[in-house]
Structure 1
């Protein structure tokens, strides 16, 4: 498992999109018990915070202690820095296991062995994520696409392909539950958009190899945007499953 987000963890917490309650509601429809959930790859708690009203206890784990240090504190949440496959939880003890925007970095075989060990027979596994950002403004959207597919070509880690494939190609050794299509929608300022793009691992890899900024075209284009901000959206990636 790679740790690409310890550096700049504060920016990651501030700039990454917030998940919607619609995602959580969709998952919880299939979770009969609400005792313990494990949020793996929790980062700075973006998804963990949406689970707190619904479970008696939550274990939130991440490889990066720097990310976990950015997470808010709740009485029913315990944070632990560890590998994804080292939860330390008891056999068949977990009602829900979630992984938000992180499973593509995991060692699938080792992690899924841990999932099968700790998940209750009635429990649910949920892989959550979001795909490539889309701007409603066609000119801005074209510039984002050009940045992603052309300027940063060769700068992305191989695991990024799983997001490009909308998580359809990740190994998924579960009985799958069909879910509705969901989308995250926001109105962002130019500064918010640029901050988000600066959290891209591919962009950070680019900056290690070049002296120029790959965001120049977008910076110039965004100077012309209206003060009320940009309409942007992300396709939600969601795969739910039960133990086979």
Structure 2
């Protein structure tokens, strides 16, 4: 393994070789799907550590909506989780509705967002929204969990003619310094693949296999999310992943993140520090992808 050369002798094989052996000897129940996000601890980490989309992302959304309509009455954010992608819409729409299948996620959403309501609801059954009333329907980092055909049918039903359907998210992050990224990418690619119950490939491929069912739809792959995080914060983010939760449930050797944190600490201690840099500074970058379409008038 490439990263082994950069670590101390202590625990060189701890994360990749041992954990990879364990991962290859387990199977995952694909039918569990969205229920992974009903875990209380994971929900807490999701609300605390999932990255927030930038102002540029929401400006892009609003500008696209404005191409066909100036009537910003209702936005519906489907698969909203704990509201990271919902709250910024309240600045632009008279009413915002955040919907998620997980009651625990909805309970973590802020309760003081102006003109915003959160409700528990499946993406494939949006019957709580009247037909032809939504100016915007969004899905952020959740489309790959859904029955896409049924969701599209419901989104089309609730959208006004000329309304916008925007599906977006962020792909796997990269780290700086490069030594930390080498370790993280090997861990991600060699240990976790069998534990992404809903399938991780669409996210890694930036939803390249998906399309919006409206003529003239377009993509935008020009944006990123960037954060300067401590190792504790980055490990907290990893704890919000369904694959980490699945791995820990299937192995009795303790929380895998303790081992990841140990290795990252070892790596960062071995790197000469720039002036003003803390011991554990990581620069984390996520590429953002966006699919956008207008319902015909």
Q: How would you bin the TM-score normalised by the shorter chain? A: over 0.9
Pairwise CA RMSD:
1.6
Farther-moved stretch of structure 1 (137-146 vs 61-70): 137-146
CA contact (8 A) 2:82 2:108 kept: yes
5 Å-filtered alignment, 1:1-244, equals 2-7=34-39, 8=41, 9-31=43-65, 32=69, 33-73=71-111, 74-87=113-126, 88-175=128-215, 176-179=217-220, 181-212=222-253, 213-215=255-257, 216-223=259-266, 225=268, 226-227=278-279, 229-244=281-296
Query: TM-score, normalised to structure 2's length?
Result: 0.78
User: Which ranges in structure 1 are unaligned for 5 or more consecutive residues?
Assistant: none
Compute the displacement of 1:178 (Å): 4.1
- Between the two proteins, the alignment pairs up a number of residues equal to 244
Note the alpha carbon deviations across 1:24-43, whole angstroms, 9 max, x for none.
10111121221100000011
User: Which ranges in structure 2 are unaligned for 5 or more consecutive residues?
Assistant: 1-32, 269-277
Structure with the higher helix share, 1 or 2: 2
Query: Which structure has the greater CA radius of gyration?
Result: 2
Note the alpha carbon deviations across 1:19-73, whole angstroms, 9 max, x for none.
1111110111121221100000011000111111110001110000110111112
CA contact (8 A) 1:143 1:217 kept: no
CA contact (8 A) 2:211 2:291 kept: no
Q: Hey, which bits of structure 1, 4+ residues long, moved more than 4 A?
A: none
CA contact (8 A) 2:212 2:292 kept: no
Farther-moved stretch of structure 1 (89-98 vs 215-224): 215-224
Q: Distance in 1 between matches of 2:80 and 2:97?
A: 9
CA contact (8 A) 1:144 1:218 kept: no
Query: TM-score, normalised to structure 1's length?
Result: 0.94
CA contact (8 A) 2:136 2:159 kept: yes
Shift in CA distance, 218/75, structure 1 to aligned 2, threshold 3 Å? closer
Q: Distance in 1 between matches of 2:212 and 2:219?
A: 13
Q: Distance in 1 between matches of 2:102 and 2:293?
A: 27
Note the alpha carbon deviations across 1:176-206, whole angstroms, 9 max, x for none.
1343510001100110001111111111111
Compute the displacement of 1:221 (Å): 2.5
Q: Distance in 2 between matches of 1:72 and 1:35?
A: 21
CA contact (8 A) 1:187 1:230 kept: yes
CA contact (8 A) 2:80 2:140 kept: yes
Note the alpha carbon deviations across 1:117-137, whole angstroms, 9 max, x for none.
111111111111111011021
Compute the displacement of 1:116 (Å): 0.8
CA contact (8 A) 1:125 1:241 kept: yes
